[in-house]
Amino acid sequence: MKLFNKIASFVLATGVFFSSSVFADTIKIAFIDPLSGPFATTGTIGLAEWKYAVEKLVNEKGGVLGGKKMEVVALDNKMDGKESLVQVQVAIDQGIRFIAQGNSSGIANAITDMVKKHNKRNPDKQVIFLNYSAVDPALTNDKCQFWHFRFDANADIKMDVITDVIAGESGIKKMYLIGQDYSFGKAVAAAAEKYLAQKTSIEIVGNELHPIGRVKDFTPYARKILASGADAVITGNWGADMVNLGRSLKESGFDGPVYCYYCATAGITRTFGETGKGMLNIVGEGKLNPMNPALEAYNKGLKAKYPEADMSQPRITNAVQMVAKAINEAGSATDMKAIAYALEGMEFENELLQTKVVMRTSDHQAIQDVHVGMHTDDVDIDFDNSGYGIKMYKTVKMASMDSPTTCKMKRP
């Protein structure tokens, strides 16, 4: 099987190499995320967003370096750590210098290690890791490194914003924390405990982790949450675990708010539908609702080209434009050190989202406006073509701008 995988990736690599050599002049970004298997939906939507952003925001505006086009090359990592590293190697062997990945912090941790080692050993073929979604705080703290750039707000920043909102809700006296039993779930719980204690006098009546993707019926959890007298719930759950938890809570008669990280798009918004109204409060960057005319046109274009996709990760438009800007500033698409230095500390004004983004120098964490929104049908831009979407009601400008980091960056 291993041999087969190797042969398959070799054949794929050569195939892609020969077919893409026709466009030898394009600057390529390798998109490495799940495009098959149970997580394919998220990966496929992300790919569509990358492709459309590159097309619309860079190539149609004249490209970079006076006319060079950019291109996204899709590589499927099947949501598997080992496979991801194989695909990074495939990308490097093809001469691709930008690696974009986002789904799963575990995989991002593996990639950042590999990129760090590779760049040390191959100073002539260095690559930059564009992390557009993995939010484990460690990536910009203990594990930070020069070649990694995170465009999403990390789990701590998001929790900082959520707890700002919660602190303003006088009705919330008791909080229940529940999450999936792995690094991200634990990070969310730890951050929630910390910030709730700092900002509020809310009592945490439950703090637990459940096995990820193994709980068949969330009803007993919902009963327990109800019995604990909790007024609200914080969860980092995603996928079916998120939907089942939310539904069970509603069915069991829970009527408080649920604060979540990943309770929208990829089928989740559609499945919740009416049930999610008044319950789901999601934290995220990128304000979609209420929207501006430029964004409306952009979203329409995306929908026309990829009907199943959503602007689920507006930060991708930041990542694409900031990379293009860095290439222009460096005056080269191959001098990765110069590009990385251009990205570092970059202040970028995103006209589409009408926001400012700063790539913080100390840890390569993007600092941007972070919002909390609610699941509702009163939206201009919906998700999953369902009529439901996320309407932002609270914005924290340049969230966690001065937050401390343990990062001790070594620069080449």
Shortest approach of another protein to residue 238 CB, angstroms?
12
Complex with another protein: residue 220 or 301, whichever CB lies closer: 220
Which residues of the shown chain bind another protein in the complex (CB under 8 A)? 37-38, 40-41, 181, 186, 190, 193, 206, 208-211, 213-217, 219-224, 226-227, 239-240, 243-244, 247, 251-253, 266-268, 270-271, 273, 308, 384, 386
Listed residue (53, 33, 50, 52) closest to 42, CA to CA: 33
What is the spatial distance between Cα 106 and Cα 192, in angstroms, rounded to a whole number?
21
What is the spatial distance between Cα 185 and Cα 190, in angstroms, rounded to a whole number?
9
CA angle 227, 272, 196 (to 5 degrees): 50
Complex with another protein: residue 63 or 389, whichever CB lies closer: 389
Place of tokens 């598997």: 80
Complex with another protein: residue 93 or 193, whichever CB lies closer: 193
Joined together, the tokens standing for residue 47 give 């790919």
Shortest approach of another protein to residue 159 CB, angstroms?
14
Shortest approach of another protein to residue 242 CB, angstroms?
10
Q: Do residues 289 and 390 lie in contact, with contact meaning Cβ atoms separated by under 8 Å?
A: yes
List, as one string, the DSSP characters of 241-266. Answer: HHHHHHHHHHHTT--S-EEESS-SST
If one counts every other C-beta atom within 10 angstroms of the C-beta of residue 91, the result is: 24
Shortest approach of another protein to residue 26 CB, angstroms?
29
What is the spatial distance between Cα 134 and Cα 365, in angstroms, rounded to a whole number?
11
Beta-carbon contacts of residue 117 (< 8 Å; ≥ 6 apart): none
Shortest approach of another protein to residue 164 CB, angstroms?
22
* Greatest distance between any 2 Cα atoms in the chain: 64
Complex with another protein: residue 183 or 328, whichever CB lies closer: 183
Q: Do residues 381 and 296 lie in contact, with contact meaning Cβ atoms separated by under 8 Å?
A: yes
Complex with another protein: residue 118 or 270, whichever CB lies closer: 270
Shortest approach of another protein to residue 328 CB, angstroms?
37
Q: Do residues 161 and 113 lie in contact, with contact meaning Cβ atoms separated by under 8 Å?
A: no
Shortest approach of another protein to residue 101 CB, angstroms?
19
- The radius of gyration of the chain's CA atoms, rounded to the nearest angstrom, is 21
Complex with another protein: residue 227 or 297, whichever CB lies closer: 227
Complex with another protein: residue 224 or 325, whichever CB lies closer: 224
Complex with another protein: residue 56 or 247, whichever CB lies closer: 247
Complex with another protein: residue 269 or 355, whichever CB lies closer: 269
Torsion-angle region of residue 257: left (phi > 0), alpha (psi -120 to 50) or beta?
beta
What is the spatial distance between Cα 362 and Cα 258, in angstroms, rounded to a whole number?
33
Torsion-angle region of residue 364: left (phi > 0), alpha (psi -120 to 50) or beta?
left
Joined together, the tokens standing for residue 239 give 């996928």
Shortest approach of another protein to residue 189 CB, angstroms?
8
